[in-house]
A = this chain, B = another copy of it.
């Protein structure tokens, strides 16, 4: 197909497609004449993926490229997910701060209880510690008591994602499934969390507290 049909089928404007071609986010088409490139189903799929990573995942171009590179290299789901998260190696250690140290302790304790083998300087563990620290500073340190429930829910979601990944037919399929579960799962999960929250916060609901601690 020509670029016009590619644009129509993916719902992506032609100038955007040209930008993706220039920046290497989209593989070049095959030249059918000196001024005419032809694209196939692989390009359509690639284009939709780039678009979803940018629009749904709100990823900067450099991270989109890292994800595509990992997919092209048939990396393991574990490696592809690292590219997806954009773990930054460089990190300025924050100044010593009792609130931050408390928050890091909370995160380490949680990781130990869940049996998670994450180093304390893991970028996502640092982000979690920042949120925990913010809860303390905002006078809502008690919210930390919900962390184990949150973690249990996250594990349930991660197991569902793992099953989806494991159903892939080959390494490339499994790597792409890992990206899809992370990208689409994040979007779905954010909406579901808000819908469930709204449902649970309806004024007519029964008084909570009669349920199991994490039920």
**For this complex, into which size category does the number of interface residues on chain A fall?**
35 or more
Query: Interface majority SS on A: helix, strand, loop or mixed?
Result: helix
Closest to A211 in B: B159
Residues of chain B lying within 8 A (CB to CB) of residue A125: 191, 195
**10 closest residue pairs by CB, A with B:** A128-B191, A131-B187, A158-B196, A153-B153, A158-B200, A154-B196, A149-B160, A154-B192, A146-B160, A162-B208
Q: List 7 A-B contacts (CB under 8 A).
A: A48-B138, A56-B134, A154-B192, A158-B197, A159-B215, A160-B214, A178-B201
Q: Which positions in A face B, CB cutoff 8 Å?
A: 45, 48-49, 52, 56, 76-78, 81-82, 85, 111, 114, 116-118, 122, 124-125, 127-128, 130-132, 134-135, 137-140, 142-143, 145-147, 149-167, 176-178, 180-182, 184-203, 205, 207-209, 211, 214-215
